[in-house]
C-alpha cells in the first residue's frame, strides 16, 4: 500500500469510527444518565407527578443485557416498589416496529422478574407481577404522528388479537423536565452532526 492510499484509508477508517461513535453517543448518554438513581427518580416523577412517595430506594433498574439469542439490548427498564414495570425506548427515526421490540423486552423482563422473585408459572398460585407501562421517547419532530402506538391498530388493522401492546409516545414539549432535556440534547446533537456532515461533503 503506497503512502497516499494509506493516508486515504486512514481517513476512511477515522470517518467510519466517527460515524459509529455518533450513532452510539445518544444511547450511551441515555443509558448512563438513567442508571443514576437520582436521575431515574426524576424521570419517574416526570411520568408520575402524582406519586409523592417514591424515593430512589423505590426504584430497581431491570434494563436487559440481552433478549433471547440475538443480543438485543433495550434502553431502559425499571420497577417501582413491585407496583409498576416501566420500559422506555428512545427513537430518533420513527418506526412502529418499536412495539414488537417493546413486547419482547416486556416478556423477557417479566420472565426475569418471576424468576428473581422465586415465583412459579407452573404453580396453582397466581403469580404477582407489576403493572406494565411502555414509553417511546421520540427525539424527532412530532408532525402528525400519534400519541399512543397500538399493536392491534398498527399491525392488524384494529382487529381483536386477544392481547394488546400500547406505548405512549413522548415528544419535545417545551417543558424543563429531565425527559425533555434529553430530547433537546438529542436534537442539538443531530443538528450538529448534520452540519459537520455537510461541511465534510
What residue ranges do the domains of the chain occupy? 24-200
Q: What is the pTM of this model?
A: 0.83
- Please give the average per-residue pLDDT across 154-161, as a whole number: 96
Lowest mean per-residue pLDDT among 3-7, 119-123, 141-145, 185-189:
3-7
Here the cell at position 67 is 433478549
How far, in Å, are 15, 19, 24, 32 from residue 63 at the CA level? 31, 26, 17, 12
**Long-range contacts: 41-48, Cβ < 8 Å, 24+?**
42/177, 42/178, 43/88, 43/178, 43/179, 44/78, 44/80, 44/86, 46/177, 46/178, 46/179, 47/86, 47/133, 47/135, 47/179
* pLDDT score for 65: 78
Q: How confident is the model at residue 12 (pLDDT cuts 50, 70, 90)?
A: very low
Amino acid at each position: 500500500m503506497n503512502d497516499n492510499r494509506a493516508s486515504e484509508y486512514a481517513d476512511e477508517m477515522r470517518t467510519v469510527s466517527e460515524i459509529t461513535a455518533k450513532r452510539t453517543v445518544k444511547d450511551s448518554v441515555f443509558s448512563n444518565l438513567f442508571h443514576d438513581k437520582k436521575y431515574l427518580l426524576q424521570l419517574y416523577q416526570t411520568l408520575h407527578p402524582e406519586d409523592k412517595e417514591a424515593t430512589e430506594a423505590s426504584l430497581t433498574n431491570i434494563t436487559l443485557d440481552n433478549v433471547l439469542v440475538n443480543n438485543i439490548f433495550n434502553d431502559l427498564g425499571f420497577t417501582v416498589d413491585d407496583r409498576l414495570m416501566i420500559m422506555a425506548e428512545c427513537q430518533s427515526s420513527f418506526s412502529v416496529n418499536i412495539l414488537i421490540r417493546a413486547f419482547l423486552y416486556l416478556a423477557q423482563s417479566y420472565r426475569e422478574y418471576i424468576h428473581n422473585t422465586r415465583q412459579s408459572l407452573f404453580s396453582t398460585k397466581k403469580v404477582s407481577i407489576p403493572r406494565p407501562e411502555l414509553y417511546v421517547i421520540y427525539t424527532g419532530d412530532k408532525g402528525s404522528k400519534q400519541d399512543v402506538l397500538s399493536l392491534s391498530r398498527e399491525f392488524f388493522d384494529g382487529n381483536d388479537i386477544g392481547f394488546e401492546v400500547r406505548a405512549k409516545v413522548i415528544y419535545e414539549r417545551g417543558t424543563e423536565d429531565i425527559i425533555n432535556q434529553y430530547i433537546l440534547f438529542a436534537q442539538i446533537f443531530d443538528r450538529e452532526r448534520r452540519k459537520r456532515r455537510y461541511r465534510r461533503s
